[in-house]
């Protein structure tokens, strides 16, 4: 069974048929739902193959409007926190707070992803911490490359819009080997970046990331390019699994998990575009 590379959306109790939470919600009569093949994708508005009437999206179930609304709320919290951090954190504390926010964001994201039940308050805390990280990182880059933040924001919006349009109107789907490679590559990339970050405190430079200023080699550009491609592929997978979750009758509270997963991918895309655009400004 195919799983999303996003650790939030790949939780068994999030969008996977046969999970305990889903069984409790739908009741013991839901045998046809549990046998549904998660790899299938029905056309928009069609019934899930093999599902009974009570298994279709309805009251108490996750809807696309819920996901959109909650994603917008979380992104708004990130933007507001980023703006406050940009203007209120003193220059002398920028780097310490930036590092603390980066580490805090990693820890909270793992806690959210590993929890069986979704906690909207914890998701909100993550949005605030991630906003502080994004705001301070943006302020540092902007101080060296004026106008870079605006360019990165527009590039992220365009990439998201094009990916969504390709998914919704062109019918692009990530399946089979490509999906599996995306999962493995995303996990490997995350491990490599965490290792690179940790080793940097020991004075060891793997060359995967370039500094904020100074010359840039080919490897950092290649790494950021790969990251942007992975972000786009993960967006496709996020869309697919959210779509499947809605059609399989995921509980309404799972819209917070879906929104959180999208926020993680979008913030990652912005940070990578910010980096790669700065490389070409040097």
Q: Which residues sit opposite 61 in a β-bridge?
A: 251
Q: Torsions phi, psi of 197, nearest 5?
A: -65, -45
Entry pTM: 0.77
Whole-number percent of the chain with pLDDT over 90: 52
Give the pLDDT score at 252.
Answer: 85
32 in Cβ contact with 221 (< 8 Å): no
51 in Cβ contact with 33 (< 8 Å): yes
pLDDT in tens, 12-63: 544 554 444 444 434 333 333 332 333 344 433 344 444 443 444 455 888 8
Residue that is written with structure tokens 């995967």 in the block: 208
pLDDT in tens, 118-175: 889 999 999 999 999 999 999 999 999 999 999 999 999 999 999 999 999 998 898 8
Give one DSSP letter per residue of 165-193, joined into a string.
Answer: HIIIII-----HHHHHHHHHHHHHHHHHH
């Amino acid at each position: 069974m195919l799983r999303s590379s996003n650790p939030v959306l790949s939780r068994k109790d999030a969008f996977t048929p046969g999970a305990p939470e889903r069984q409790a919600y739908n009741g013991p009569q839901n045998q046809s739902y549990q046998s549904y093949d998660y790899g299938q994708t029905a056309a928009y508005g069609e019934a899930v193959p093999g599902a009974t009437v009570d298994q279709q999206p309805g009251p108490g179930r996750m809807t696309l409007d819920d996901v959109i609304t909650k994603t917008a709320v979380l992104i708004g919290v990130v933007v507001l926190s980023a703006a406050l951090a940009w203007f209120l954190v003193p220059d002398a504390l920028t780097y310490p707070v930036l590092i603390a926010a980066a580490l805090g964001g990693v820890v909270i994201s793992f806690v959210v992803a590993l929890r069986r039940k979704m906690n909207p308050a914890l998701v909100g805390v993550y949005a605030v911490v991630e906003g502080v990280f994004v705001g301070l990182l943006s302020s540092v880059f902007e101080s060296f490359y004026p106008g870079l933040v605006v360019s990165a924001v527009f590039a992220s919006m365009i990439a998201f819009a094009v990916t969504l349009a390709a998914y919704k109107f062109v019918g692009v789907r990530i399946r089979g080997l490509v999906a599996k490679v995306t999962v493995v590559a995303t996990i490997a990339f995350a491990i490599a970046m965490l290792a690179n970050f940790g080793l940097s405190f020991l004075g060891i430079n793997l060359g995967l990331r370039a500094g904020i200023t100074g010359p840039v080699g080919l490897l950092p550009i290649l790494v950021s390019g790969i990251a942007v491609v992975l972000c786009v592929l993960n967006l496709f997978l996020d869309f697919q699994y959210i779509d499947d979750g809605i059609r399989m009758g995921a509980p309404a509270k799972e819209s917070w998990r879906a929104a959180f997963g999208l926020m993680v991918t979008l913030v990652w895309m912005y940070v990578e575009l910010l980096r790669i655009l700065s490389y070409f400004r040097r």
